[in-house]
Amino acid sequence: MPEVLKEAPTGLSADSAAEQAASAPVGKPRSLWSDAWHDLRRSPLFIVSAVLIFFLLMMAIAPGLFTGADPRYADLANHYLQKPKWGNFFQEDWFGYDIQGRSIYARVIYGARASIMVAVIVTALVTILGTVVGMLAGYFGGWIDTLLSRVTDIFFGVPFILGAMVILTSFDERHVWVVILALAFLGWTQIARVARGSVLTIKQADYVMAAKALGASTSRILLRHILPNAMAPVIVVATIALGGYISAEATLSFLGIGLAEPTVSWGVDISSGQEQLRNAAFVLIIPSVMVSITVLAFIMLGDAVRNALDPKLR
């Protein structure tokens, strides 16, 4: 009580001062999400990844802010495998030209749109599908859990890239939406397992039991009580997986069964640049570095979010 006695006004006894201190208003307790945001704002890992992702998203949304060059314009007569001019920052010839005389810098900027769009939409689809499957399996249990878990195991047993190759080779035209659906069709299993495990833990909580005792409907319990509290591990897995889908799209395009010309994509440029590895390695290396930076940024973001959302790591 020493501090209370020092700050107590004259004329108040120690007991009165102690009662006032005990009854003083306490700040509103923060939720898991507010605690996570409080930690993220002070995390160098989150700040660096967020800045990188911001610029990558700006490249995908508004490539005209970074370059006025046409990524499909080819000039074989003047620009055939012209080497980069590293001093010309943000200029058309900064990264040099490819075998068709097209600006690599312009193609890197415009290629972000297809690569990131594929990854973001696939991540959204697998998150929705995997969360729904995992919630239903974990909450209802019984034969529903057995059926959904076995279906998940079947899809999980299919090698991801191999399965996507089989699906994509059955299509004559492989545009962006075909690649998106092929990746989403096989990529939801990990999130389903994570969501199921989270729901199995949360459905035993006191507030869920209280909601059931008060007669709350199943849909209300799932949407209002279980879903918000089960999303933390799902968000972490989805954030890290997003970078993996960028790699998957680039891998499939490199193998010639993903996106193809005239689509501007980093994977397409890596595929076309592999033949120039000996005499013009920059044609292959520059889009490969962009893929690596993008994947690294999303993995760093996922690690930062995991550290913020996991109470054991805080």
Return the structure tokens found at 32.
């898991």
CA nearest 276: which of 76, 97, 71? 97
By the 8 A CB rule, do 112 and 60 touch?
yes
Residues whose CB is less than 8 angstroms from the CB of residue 262 and which lie 6 or more positions away in sequence, other chains included: 72
- Whether 30 is in a domain gets the answer no
Q: Is 301 helix (H, G, I), strand (E, B) or coil?
A: helix
Domain enclosing residue 236, as ranges: 44-63+104-313
CA nearest 72: which of 279, 272, 313, 236? 272
- Whether 73 is in a domain gets the answer no
Return the structure tokens found at 152.
């998940």
- Whether 68 is in a domain gets the answer no
Residues whose CB is less than 8 angstroms from the CB of residue 238 and which lie 6 or more positions away in sequence, other chains included: 123, 126, 127, 191
Tell me, what CATH number does 238's domain have? 1.10.3720.10
To which residue do tokens 């704002």 refer? 41
- Whether 83 is in a domain gets the answer no
pLDDT of residue 280: 85
Cα 79 to chain centroid distance, Å, stands at 37
Per-residue H/E/C for 232-296: HHHHHHHHHHHHHHHHHHHHHHHCCCCCCCCCCCHHHHHHHHHHHCCCCCHHHHHHHHHHHHHHH
Cα 186 to chain centroid distance, Å, stands at 17
Task: State how many domains the chain has.
Answer: 1
- Whether 10 is in a domain gets the answer no
pLDDT of residue 211: 87
pLDDT of residue 9: 45
Q: Is 314 helix (H, G, I), strand (E, B) or coil?
A: coil
- Whether 288 is in a domain gets the answer yes
CA nearest 122: which of 57, 189, 180? 180
Instruction: Tell me how long the chain is.
Output: 314
pLDDT of residue 106: 92
* 198-232 exposure pattern, b = at least 16 Cβ within 10 A, e = fewer: bbbebbeeeebeebeeeeeeeeebbeebbbebbbb
- Whether 75 is in a domain gets the answer no
pLDDT of residue 144: 93
CA atoms within 13 A of residue 25's CA, in its CB half-sphere = 2
pLDDT, averaged in runs of 10, over the chain (314 residues): 42 45 49 73 89 93 89 84 84 87 92 91 95 93 92 91 90 85 92 93 88 88 88 89 90 86 87 83 91 92 83 57
- Whether 76 is in a domain gets the answer no
